[in-house]
Amino acid sequence: MLDPLVSIVIPTHNRPEMLRRAVRSAQDQTYSNIEIIIVDDASFPSAADAVKSLQKTDSRIRCIRNPRSLGGAGARNVGIGRARGKYIAFLDDDDIWKAEKTSRQVEALEKSQGDACSCGFFFRRFGCSRSRYIPSKAPSFENLLASNFLGGASVCMASKRALEAIRGFDTGLRSGQDWDLWLRLAKIGRIELVPDALLEYDAHFGIRISTNMRGKISGSRKIYFKYRKLMNKECRKNHIGMILFYKSRMPDNGCEERIRLLYKATSLVNSRLAITMTASGLLRLALPPELNSDLKNII
């Protein structure tokens, strides 16, 4: 029996050097039956040429160019539509997979007949310190309502059938698109978890939606209103607290307003999260603006 085809979807926008590194990690997978779909989300001509050149190096690579930028969610949806595999795995252009990631996730899904699979990951800060994270909760819809403890798109492998059933990523979200995807996958089926770190997230000084506070506030609000009727009281309080915390990190609010928002946020969330919020928030308020801009990628 042949191993099922896995389609690896890599959205990219103006980051050719990082893209080459991500593509190399996909090419180096121990699982051989793969296709690599690079979705160029309307990069500048020089970056677009670099993307095209990758296609010439490996017959498994296909490049698709969006004539206008659709954002990360839209670019991934283009890749889903063009994928031929039984399973689809997502890899952001600034992340790196371990060589056994694809084989471990396919094995988990084939054994359980599950609909999607996540895994643990390493988080590297600017090429220096590295921490390891393995999700400890069961990947149920109820647990995911409280927080996205499974990780971003780069840990996700799902069946094409399941992704088509939920119509892919929600393009109306500026951030939290991966969290929303996990929630909708959990609603229709079963999510498996490989309890090993098979991915390396790279915190860098480039543009990342995960460090864009306006995007985080917008995405968090939309997810809250999308799912609040399914949340219990404690879960709703935690969500509102997180939104207020993100607002407290906006420097244009002024010091007094930021302290007020931080105080309100910590009064709503659980005690462990409140301690983290307080430490992070007070540190930011104590730092000069030029250091705050660097710190936003670290905390």
Last residue of a domain, one of 185, 203, 221: 203
Residue 269 vs residue 149, higher pLDDT: 149
**Residue 287 pLDDT grade (very low, low, confident, very high; cuts 50, 70, 90):** very low
Last residue of a domain, one of 165, 184, 203: 203
Evaluate whether residue 256 is within a structural domain: yes
Average pLDDT, the chain: 88
**Residue 297 pLDDT grade (very low, low, confident, very high; cuts 50, 70, 90):** very low
Say if residues 143 and 149 touch (Cβ distance below 8 Å). yes
Element at 209 (helix H, strand E): none
Tell me how many domains the chain contains.
Answer: 2
Evaluate whether residue 213 is within a structural domain: no
Evaluate whether residue 217 is within a structural domain: no
- The answer to whether residues 21 and 135 belong to one domain is yes
Evaluate whether residue 160 is within a structural domain: yes
Q: What is the pLDDT of residues 108-146, one digit of tens each?
A: 999 999 999 999 999 887 566 679 999 989 999 999 999
Domain of residue 67, residue span = 6-203
Using the predicted structure, report yes or no on whether residue 166 has a pLDDT greater than 80: yes
- The answer to whether residues 110 and 194 belong to one domain is yes
Burial of residue 268, with CB atoms counted within 10 A of its CB: 0-12 exposed, 13-18 middle, 19 or more buried: buried
- The answer to whether residues 161 and 280 belong to one domain is no
- The answer to whether residues 194 and 236 belong to one domain is no
- The answer to whether residues 138 and 266 belong to one domain is no
Evaluate whether residue 157 is within a structural domain: yes
Least-confidence region, from 172-186, 202-216, 247-261: 202-216
Q: How far is CA 60 from CA 36, 48, 63, 226, in A?
A: 6, 18, 10, 38
Burial of residue 140, with CB atoms counted within 10 A of its CB: 0-12 exposed, 13-18 middle, 19 or more buried: exposed
- The answer to whether residues 280 and 195 belong to one domain is no
Evaluate whether residue 105 is within a structural domain: yes
- The answer to whether residues 197 and 255 belong to one domain is no
Q: For the chain, what is the radius of gyration of the CA atoms?
A: 19
Distance CA(144)–CA(282), nearest Å, equals 28
Other C-beta atoms closer than 10 Å to the C-beta of 152 total 22
Report which of 143, 79, 86, 85 is spatially closest to residue 114, judged by C-alpha positions. 86
The one-character DSSP state at 297 is T
**Residue 275 pLDDT grade (very low, low, confident, very high; cuts 50, 70, 90):** low
What residues contact residue 256 under an 8 Å CB cut-off, 6+ apart? none
Evaluate whether residue 181 is within a structural domain: yes
- The answer to whether residues 195 and 244 belong to one domain is no
Q: What is the pLDDT of residue 298?
A: 40
Q: What is the pLDDT of residues 21-49, one digit of tens each?
A: 999 999 999 999 999 999 999 999 989 99
- The answer to whether residues 94 and 163 belong to one domain is yes
- The answer to whether residues 173 and 46 belong to one domain is yes
Q: What is the pLDDT of residue 279?
A: 56
| Interval 90-119 mean pLDDT | 97
Evaluate whether residue 251 is within a structural domain: yes
What's 69's domain CATH number?
A: 3.90.550.10
- The answer to whether residues 186 and 271 belong to one domain is no
- The answer to whether residues 243 and 288 belong to one domain is yes
Distance CA(76)–CA(37), nearest Å, equals 10
Q: What is the pLDDT of residues 185-195, one digit of tens each?
A: 999 999 999 99
